[in-house]
């Protein structure tokens, strides 16, 4: 079954930081989990490269907007590699394939009467070439915040999208699809605003040129946000029906899961569906709007200089490893409605208590005992797994149900609790004592074989989170490095044949503060 996972496309005026890393990592874990289940996943990310900010930054630097975009897009792409992210494509809004299709879609909106030419009137700051809303203008006492000169009342012709005409259809859609926007708190915000009524929104501007020209009226430039939203379908070639891209990728629409930050919820939950309705395209499956990381209890901001930036992140890679970073992002992050605090100490504690003491230590003690008592040869289990096959099956089911809901914490817990049970089992049955009594070797064999099998299955479930370390675990358990089997096969009981050579492993070294 096809599944299409997207991140927002990142604005090239920014440098990569924890926000980008977080969203992309969450999507990556999700994509890997779905692929593990055998689903046909297409995972997309990219960069948003148009708009007045890029135009201005480029001018300041004395380069062309395209040169600036090229440089920063390359940086984002480089970072994806460093993070080991498995996106299937990287779309840039300045690519011809995207621009052509956006013009096609906008033309269709125009032809369908969903886009029309209207007049915009507002408070204009001539120095900044910016409009302010009535409330903002009032706050500024109708003076430019930069130059102090009075704002002028200006009008401008713009193309508008008839968002207002989709009110009823959107309400019906939300009523029929209660899970469309996640988490529920975010959905409620959207519903609340929807009740206030919708106004038409401009889709073009004329005060800058760094954008996609409006088809048929080229002094207008398509507004960045609409340009950006379309990336989700231009990457699939939907704006070029019958084209090569569409032949290969059209199957991924509408199986789309848009993972976004809460700041862009309105665009994705309301405007994007309305645009799709206007284009008579089916709705995506889900919009998941996560919250933000804060730093040591305070909002991260560039001016405060407390942004967790790329060098900081790379420091964590060096100290704890890439998988540990992924684990922290996926299990401690703000996937739900409230923000999460990023603290070095919390990172360290999570690493030690979960990865070192459980995910690392449990396989370590199991493989150590098998090494010591059986020269590393997987012992034979005369009890056919005892209660463990059923426990593992239940954990896998729980894992899978959690993955369906993008509940990464739940999925991780399903695997973790299995490992904790193995620890408890060892504590209860005391194989290290049985090993001293030759009469009880049969019992010892069964216990250790059951532990090793359970560890192997838990390891499969942890692969999307900890791809590098779980590959090491597979090798330690004699399972080779590149598993070709499906997840269903790999989580069935008894794949480590008796006699298989196992190796003692220590996956997560303790890190001193």
Query: Which positions touch RNA (CB under 7 A)?
Result: 11, 48, 50-53, 130-133, 135, 163, 185, 188-189, 192-193, 196-199, 201-202, 223-225, 228, 262-264, 266-267, 299, 337-341, 346, 349, 352-353, 356-358, 360-361, 363-365, 368-369, 372, 420, 423-424, 426-427, 431-432, 505-510
DSSP state of 361: H
Choice between 57 and 492, CB closer to RNA = 57
| Token output for 88 | 């299937």
In the complex, least distance from residue 306 CB atom to RNA, rounded to whole angstroms: 14
Do the beta carbons of residue 232 and residue 6 sit within 8 Å? yes
Please list, in sequence order, all residues whose beta carbon lies within 8 angstroms of the beta carbon of residue 242, skipping any fewer than 6 positions away.
none
**Residue 361 CB burial class (10 angstroms; 0-12, 13-18, ≥19):** middle
**Cα 352 from Cα 347, distance rounded (Å):** 9
Choice between 239 and 363, CB closer to RNA = 363
In the complex, least distance from residue 341 CB atom to RNA, rounded to whole angstroms: 6
In the complex, least distance from residue 239 CB atom to RNA, rounded to whole angstroms: 20
Choice between 390 and 424, CB closer to RNA = 424
Choice between 246 and 260, CB closer to RNA = 260
Choice between 281 and 368, CB closer to RNA = 368
Task: Write phi, then psi, for 428 (nearest 5 degrees).
Answer: -75, -45
Choice between 42 and 272, CB closer to RNA = 272
Q: How far is CA 297 from CA 342, 347, 374, in A?
A: 8, 14, 51
Choice between 20 and 249, CB closer to RNA = 20
In the complex, least distance from residue 502 CB atom to RNA, rounded to whole angstroms: 13
Indicate the pairing of strand 2-11 with strand 40-48. parallel
344: nearest Cα among 318, 308, 310, 311: 308
In the complex, least distance from residue 295 CB atom to RNA, rounded to whole angstroms: 13
Choice between 20 and 495, CB closer to RNA = 20
**Cα 73 from Cα 444, distance rounded (Å):** 57
In the complex, least distance from residue 500 CB atom to RNA, rounded to whole angstroms: 18
Query: What are the strands, taking DSSP E only, across 292-411?
Result: 293-295, 340-342
DSSP state of 183: S
Do the beta carbons of residue 356 and residue 508 sit within 8 Å? yes
In the complex, least distance from residue 470 CB atom to RNA, rounded to whole angstroms: 12
Beta bridge partner(s), residue 154: 122
Choice between 41 and 52, CB closer to RNA = 52
**Cα 53 from Cα 225, distance rounded (Å):** 13
Angle between helices 65-82 and 18-36 (to 10 degrees): 50
Query: What are the strands, taking DSSP E only, across 80-151?
Result: 89-92, 115-125, 130-132
**Cα 308 from Cα 18, distance rounded (Å):** 6
In the complex, least distance from residue 294 CB atom to RNA, rounded to whole angstroms: 9
Do the beta carbons of residue 174 and residue 194 sit within 8 Å? yes
Handedness of CA 59, 63, 66, 71 (dihedral sign): negative
Handedness of CA 161, 165, 167, 168 (dihedral sign): negative
Choice between 16 and 360, CB closer to RNA = 360
In the complex, least distance from residue 485 CB atom to RNA, rounded to whole angstroms: 25
In the complex, least distance from residue 351 CB atom to RNA, rounded to whole angstroms: 10
Choice between 96 and 192, CB closer to RNA = 192
In the complex, least distance from residue 353 CB atom to RNA, rounded to whole angstroms: 4
**Cα 91 from Cα 98, distance rounded (Å):** 8
In the complex, least distance from residue 260 CB atom to RNA, rounded to whole angstroms: 10
**Cα 223 from Cα 251, distance rounded (Å):** 28
Beta bridge partner(s), residue 153: 123
């Amino acid at each position: 079954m096809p599944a299409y996972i997207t991140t927002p496309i990142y604005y090239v005026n920014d440098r990569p930081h924890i926000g980008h890393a977080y969203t992309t990592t969450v999507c990556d874990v999700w994509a890997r989990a779905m692929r593990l289940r055998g689903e046909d996943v297409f995972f997309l990310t990219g960069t948003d490269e148009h708009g007045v900010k890029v135009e201005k930054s480029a001018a300041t630097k004395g380069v062309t907007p395209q040169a600036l975009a090229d440089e920063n897009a390359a940086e984002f792409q480089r970072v994806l590699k460093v993070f080991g992210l498995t996106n299937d494509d990287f779309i840039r809004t300045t690519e011809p394939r995207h621009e052509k299709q956006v013009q096609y879609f906008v033309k269709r909106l125009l032809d369908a009467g969903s886009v029309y030419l209207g007049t915009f009137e507002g408070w204009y700051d001539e120095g900044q070439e910016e409009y302010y809303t009535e409330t903002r203008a009032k706050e500024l006492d109708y003076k430019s915040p930069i130059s102090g000169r009075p704002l002028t009342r200006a009008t401008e012709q713009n193309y508008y999208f008839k968002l207002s005409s989709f009110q009823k259809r959107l309400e019906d859609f939300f009523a029929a699809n209660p899970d469309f926007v996640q988490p529920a708190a975010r959905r409620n915000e959207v519903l609340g605003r929807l009740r206030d009524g919708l106004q038409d929104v401009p889709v073009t501007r004329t005060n800058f040129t760094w954008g996609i020209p409006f088809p048929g009226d080229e002094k207008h430039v398509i507004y960045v946000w609409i340009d950006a939203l379309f990336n989700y379908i231009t990457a699939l070639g939907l704006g070029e029906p019958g084209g090569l891209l569409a032949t290969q990728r059209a199957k991924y629409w509408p199986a789309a899961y848009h993972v976004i930050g809460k700041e862009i919820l309105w665009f994705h939950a309301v405007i994007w569906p309305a645009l799709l309705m206007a284009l008579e395209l089916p709705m995506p499956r889900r919009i998941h709007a996560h919250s933000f990381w804060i730093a040591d209890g305070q909002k991260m901001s560039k001016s405060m200089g407390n942004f967790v930036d790329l060098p900081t992140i790379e420091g964590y890679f060096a100290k704890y490893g890439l998988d540990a970073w992924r684990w922290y992002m996926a299990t401690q992050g703000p996937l739900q409605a409230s923000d999460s605090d990023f603290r070095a100490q919390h990172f360290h504690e999570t690493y030690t208590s979960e990865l070192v003491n459980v995910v690392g230590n449990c396989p370590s003690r199991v493989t150590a005992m098998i090494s010591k008592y059986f020269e590393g040869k997987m012992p034979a289990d005369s009890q056919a797994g005892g209660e463990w096959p059923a426990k593992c099956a239940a954990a896998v089911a729980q894992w899978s149900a959690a993955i369906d809901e993008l509940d990464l914490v739940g999925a991780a817990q399903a695997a973790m609790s299995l490992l904790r049970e193995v620890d408890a089992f060892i504590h209860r049955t005391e194989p290290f004592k049985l090993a001293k009594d030759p009469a009880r070797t049969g019992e010892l064999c069964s216990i250790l074989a059951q532990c090793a099998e359970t560890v192997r299955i838990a390891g499969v479930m942890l692969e999307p989170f900890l791809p590098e370390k779980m590959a090491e675990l597979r090798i330690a358990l004699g399972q080779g490095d590149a598993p070709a089997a499906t997840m269903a096969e790999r989580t069935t009981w008894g794949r480590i044949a008796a006699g298989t050579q196992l190796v003692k492993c220590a996956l997560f070294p303790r890190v001193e503060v």
